[in-house]
Amino acid sequence: MARNEVFRDADHLSLPVPADTAAGTPVIVGSLVGITQTARGQGGNTAENATVWLKGGHRVDVTGAIAAVGTPVYIPAGGGALTATATGNTVWGYALETKGSGTGPIVVKIAQV
């Protein structure tokens, strides 16, 4: 039996995030995308880390129109607001709701690629 397992599912990890990152913020850490469940430095994390969930569906603000369920939602490489714009951005998840133009909340399923 292997004895080198560290995390059973690795769905909730303490990861480094930018300064002043609040709980509930979509983040990108290397190629991992997720949403913070704690603010940076809180919840037993080191000063540079937050607890990041890498799975699930979360209600988040998205900029741009989402015409169909399953539409990809993107995050800029340096982090920031989620968007419907693919160019120069990384897939963060897939829309589980639709919305018109502008910025507003929808449920997005986090994607790991």
Give the pLDDT confidence of 22-67 residue by residue, as tens digits. Answer: 999 999 999 999 999 999 999 999 999 999 999 999 999 999 999 9
Q: Is residue 3 part of a domain?
A: no
Do 65 and 100 sit in the same domain of this protein?
Answer: yes
Report the percentage of the chain scoring pLDDT > 70. 99
Q: Is residue 47 part of a domain?
A: yes
List own/partner pairs for 80-84 with CB under 8 A and 24 or more apart: 82/26, 82/108
Domain that includes residue 40, residue range: 12-53
Q: Is residue 84 part of a domain?
A: yes
pTM: 0.92
Q: Is residue 62 part of a domain?
A: yes
pLDDT of the residue at 8: 79
pLDDT of the residue at 20: 95
pLDDT at 92 > cutoff 90: yes
Do 40 and 74 sit in the same domain of this protein?
Answer: no
Residue 63's closest CA among 37, 89, 39, 38? Answer: 89
Q: Is residue 2 part of a domain?
A: no
Give the tokens for residue 101.
């133009």
Count of structural domains within the chain: 2
